[in-house]
Chains A and B, each alone.
Chain A
Amino acid sequence: MRNYIIKRLLISVVILFFVTLILYTIFRNIPTSFVESIARERANLPGSKSYSEWLNQLNAVYGMDKGIFQGYLQWAQSAIQGNFGDSWKYNIPVIQKFRETIWYSAALGGITFVLQIIIAVPLGILAARKQYSKTDYAITVVALIGISLPVFFFATILKLVFAIKLGWFDLYGTVGRYYYQLDTFGKILDIGKHFVLPIIAIVLISIGGLMRYTRTNMLEVLNADYIRTARAKGLSEKRVINYHAFRNTLIPIVTIIGGSLPGLFAGSLITETLFGITGIGKTAYDAMVGGDIPFSMFYMSFLAVLTLLGTLIADILYAVVDPRVRIR
Chain B
Amino acid sequence: MTNKNNEYEKEVDELSLDDEQRVKILSPWAMVFKRFIRNKLAITGSIFIFAMFLFSFVGGLITPYEEDQVFTKYDEMYKIFAGVSENDKFKYIVEDDKEFSLINQSNFILTVNSSKEYFESKDEMFVTEKIDDEYYIVNNANEVAIAMSIGKNINVSASDTSLTDDFNEMAKNSVKQNETFFEVNSKKYYAIHNRKNSVFYEIKELAVATKNIYSYSDKDIENNFLFCKNVEDAIYNQHKSFELDGNNYEVKLTNDGTEVFKNNEIYASLLKFQMEPIYEDVFIDLEFKKVIKNAIINNLNEFIYKDQNGNDAVYRLYRQNLQWTVEKQESTYLVDAYSAPSNKHWLGTDGHGMDLLTRLMYGGRISLRIGFIVVIIETFIGVILGGVAGYFGKFWDNLIMRIVDIFNCIPSLPLIIILGSVMDQLRVAPEVRLNVLMLVMAFLGWPGIARMVRGQTLFLREQEFMTATEATGLDVSKRIFKHLIPNIIPQLIVICTLSLGGVILMESVLSFLGVGVKFPFASWGNIINAVSNVFVMSSYLFVWIPAGMCILITVLGFNFIGDGLRDAFDPKMKR
Q: List 30 A-B contacts (CB under 8 A).
A: A15-B405, A15-B406, A19-B409, A22-B406, A31-B422, A33-B426, A144-B41, A145-B556, A148-B501, A148-B505, A149-B552, A150-B508, A150-B512, A150-B528, A150-B548, A150-B551, A150-B555, A152-B508, A153-B544, A153-B551, A159-B537, A160-B537, A171-B534, A269-B413, A290-B421, A291-B425, A300-B410, A303-B414, A304-B409, A304-B410
The distance in angstroms between the C-alpha atoms of A156 and B545, with both chains bound, is: 10
| Shortest Cβ gap from B363 to chain A (Å) | 13
Residues of B within 8 A of A307 (CB): 408-409, 411
With the chains together, A157 CA to B300 CA distance in Å? 48
Assess the A304–B422 pair: CB atoms within 8 A.
no
Interchain CA distance A285-B411 in the complex, whole Å = 13
B319 near A: Cβ within 8 Å? no
Once the chains bind, are A308 and B552 in contact (CB under 8 Å)? no
**Nearest chain A CB to B486 CB, angstrom units:** 25
B417 within 8 A of A: yes
Is the C-beta of A87 less than 8 angstroms from some C-beta in chain B?
no
Chain A 12-28 against B: per-residue CB contact (8 Å), 1 yes, 0 no? Answer: 00111011001100100
- Tell me the bound Cα distance from A141 to B531 in angstroms: 27
Question: B192 → chain A, closest Cβ, in Å?
Answer: 61
A150-B505, A153-B548 given; A141·B41 CB < 8 A: yes
B563/A15 in contact, CB under 8 A: no
Given contacts A164-B537, A164-B538, A269-B413, contact A31 B552 (CB under 8 A): no
Contact with B along A86-104 (1 / 0, CB 8 A): 0000000000000000000
Interface residue? B278 (CB, 8 A): no
Task: Check: B560 CB closer than 8 A to any chain A CB.
Answer: yes
B559 near A296 with CB under 8 A, answer: no
Closest A-B pairs by Cβ, 6 of them: A153-B548, A148-B555, A148-B556, A303-B411, A304-B409, A19-B409
| A156 and B414 form a contact (CB under 8 A) | no
Per-residue CB proximity of B493-512 to A under 8 Å, as 1/0? Answer: 00000000100010011001
Cβ of A140 within 8 Å of any chain B Cβ, yes or no, is: yes
Task: Assess whether A300 is in contact with B411, with CB atoms less than 8 Å apart.
Answer: yes
Counting CB contacts under 8 A, is A107 at the interface? no
**B537 surroundings in chain A (CB, below 8 A):** 156, 159-160, 164
For the complex, would chain B's binding face be called helix, strand, loop or mixed by DSSP majority?
A: helix
A261 within 8 A of B: no
List residues of chain A with CB within 8 A of the CB of B538: 160, 164-165
Is A44 on the interface with B (CB-CB < 8 A)? no
Residues of B within 8 A of A48 (CB): none
Question: How far, in angstroms, from A120 to B537 measured CA to CA in the complex?
Answer: 31
Contact partner of A144 (CB less than 8 A), chosen from B402, B411, B559, is: B559
Quick check: B425 and A26 within 8 Å, CB to CB?
no
Report the minimal beta-carbon distance from A279 to chain B, rounded to whole angstroms: 14
Find the B residue at minimum CB distance from A223: B572
**Is residue B31 contacting chain A, with contact meaning CB distance below 8 A?**
no
- Are A288 and B418 closer than 8 Å at their CB atoms? yes
Q: Which residues of A contact B421 (CB under 8 A)?
A: 288-291
B552 touches A153 (CB 8 A): yes
User: In the complex, which residue of chain B has the Cβ closest to the Cβ of A16?
Assistant: B409
Beta-carbon contact of B552 and A14 below 8 Å: no
Are the C-beta atoms of B575 and A147 separated by less than 8 Å? no
Q: Among the listed B410, B509, B515, which residue makes an inter-chain contact with A150, where contact means beta carbons less than 8 Å apart?
A: B509
B415 at the interface (CB under 8 A from A): yes
B513 within 8 A of A: yes
A241 within 8 A of B: no
Contacts of A159 in B (CB 8 A): 537
Residues of B within 8 A of A303 (CB): 409, 411, 414
Chain A residues in 8 Å Cβ range of B415: 23, 26, 300
| A-contact 0/1 string along B537-565, CB 8 Å cutoff | 11001001000100110011011100100
Chain A's closest residue to B573 (CB) is A219
Q: A-side interface residues toward B, CB under 8 Å?
A: 11, 14-16, 18-19, 22-23, 26, 30-31, 33-34, 37-38, 132, 137, 140-141, 144-145, 147-153, 156-157, 159-160, 164-165, 171, 219, 223, 269-270, 284-285, 288-291, 296, 299-300, 303-304, 307-308, 311
Determine the distance from Cα of A229 to Cα of B541 in the docked complex, in whole angstroms.
57
A-B contact sample (5 more), CB < 8 A, given A152-B509, A153-B548, A284-B414: A34-B425, A149-B555, A150-B551, A150-B552, A288-B421
Given contacts A22-B406, A304-B409, contact A144 B544 (CB under 8 A): no
Quote the shortest CB–CB distance from A57 to chain B (angstroms): 20
For the complex, give the distance between the alpha carbons of A171 and B537 in Å. Answer: 11
Write the chain B residue with the least CB distance to A159.
B537
Given contacts A22-B410, A140-B41, A307-B408, whether A147 and B559 have CB atoms under 8 Å apart is: yes
Chain A residue numbers with a CB within 8 Å of B410 are 19, 22-23, 300, 304
**Chain A's nearest CB lies how many Å from the CB of B290?**
52
- A298 CA to B392 CA, complexed, in Å: 37
Closest chain-B Cβ to A136's Cβ sits at a distance in Å of 11
Is A144 touching B406 in the complex (CB atoms < 8 A)?
no
Q: Contacts A269-B414, A284-B414 hold; do A156 and B513 have CB atoms under 8 A apart?
A: no
Give the contacting residue for B513; candidates A38, A223, A270, A299; CB below 8 A. Answer: A270
Q: Which residues of B sit under 8 angstroms from A16, Cβ to Cβ? A: 409
Which one of B422, B555, B560, B575 contacts A132 once the chains associate, using CB atoms below 8 Å? B575
The reply to whether B402 and A15 contact each other, CB–CB distance below 8 Å, is yes
Within 8 A of A (CB), among B48-70: none
CB distance from B11 to the nearest CB of A (A): 16
Shortest distance between the CB of B322 and any CB in chain A (Å): 41
Name the contact of A137 in the complex, choosing from B41, B402, B414, B572 (C-beta under 8 A): B41
Contact residues in B for A30 (Cβ distance below 8 Å): 422
Known A148-B505, A300-B411: A34·B422 in contact at CB below 8 Å: yes
A153 touches B528 (CB 8 A): yes
Whether B528 contacts A152 by the Cβ 8 Å rule is: yes
- Contact: A148 with B552, CB < 8 Å? yes
| B417→A270 contact, CB < 8 A | no
> Could you say which of B41, B426, B525, B560 contacts A34, with CB atoms under 8 Å apart?
B426
Nearest-Cβ distance from residue B43 to partner chain A, whole angstroms: 13
List residues of chain A with CB within 8 A of the CB of B559: 144, 147-148
Task: Report yes or no: A299 in contact with B414, Cβ–Cβ below 8 A.
Answer: yes
Interface pair A270/B509, CB less than 8 Å apart: yes
Which residue of chain B is the closest to A145 with respect to CB atoms?
B556
A300 to chain B minimum Cβ distance, whole angstroms, is 5
